[in-house]
């Protein structure tokens, strides 16, 4: 079956309508409000409830709130958290009241920002930050140790002061 094609007019053969249409689309976009974000200077404001990267906090007296219970390590789906408990040796200053983990590491490249570590923490030692950009030059830089995680979190006051004696 042969489909007959109509002959093009002189105006259509010059391609001027297509060029004029292209310029009108370009000019329309040129005068619109800009929607491009200048990333390092401007950042998205994250909504309440955004689950970002986890970090550790200290209490009012500067003590690490994590007691090495390892619940966050067990519940982490991608196994991004690794905790080494302190062992049987007691700290002579605090006795058996406070167990600070020997090592606490979170591999931010493996972390899926699910927030399960924050939900399961009985001591409220892990919180999620609202920042969404992490950079590193190597994989080793993206494994955050306890000092880096505490520096991200800082001090967060307790609602319940369980170690205070009245």
Q: What are the tens digits of pLDDT across the range 48-75?
A: 888 889 999 998 888 888 988 999 999 9
- In degrees and rounded to multiples of 5, residue 165 shows phi and psi of -100, 130
Per-residue pLDDT tens for 104-145? Answer: 999 999 999 999 999 999 989 999 988 878 888 999 999 999
Tokens of residue 25, six digits: 């689309």
Tokens of residue 125, six digits: 């030692």
Would the pTM count as exceeding 0.75?
Answer: no
Residues 6+ apart with CB under 8 A from 136: 142
| Domains contained in the chain, CATH given | 54-153 (3.30.70.3270)
Comparing 88 with 14, the larger pLDDT belongs to 14
Residues 6+ apart with CB under 8 A from 59: 65, 155, 156, 157, 158
């Amino acid at each position: 079956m042969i489909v007959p094609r109509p002959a093009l007019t002189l105006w259509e053969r010059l391609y001027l309508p297509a060029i004029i249409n292209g310029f009108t689309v370009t000019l329309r976009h040129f005068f619109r409000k800009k929607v491009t974000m200048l990333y390092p200077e401007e950042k998205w404001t994250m909504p309440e409830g955004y689950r970002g990267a986890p970090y550790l906090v200290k209490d009012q007296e500067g003590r690490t709130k994590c007691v090495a219970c390892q619940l966050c390590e067990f519940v982490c789906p991608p196994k991004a958290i690794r905790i080494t408990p302190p062992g049987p040796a007691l700290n002579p200053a605090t006795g058996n009241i406070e167990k600070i983990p020997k090592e606490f590491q979170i591999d931010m490249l493996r972390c899926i920002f699910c927030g399960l570590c924050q939900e399961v923490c009985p001591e409220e030692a892990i919180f999620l930050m609202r920042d969404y950009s992490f950079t590193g030059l190597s994989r080793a830089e993206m494994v955050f140790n306890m000092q880096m995680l505490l520096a991200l979190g800082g001090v967060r006051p307790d609602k319940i002061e369980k170690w205070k004696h009245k």
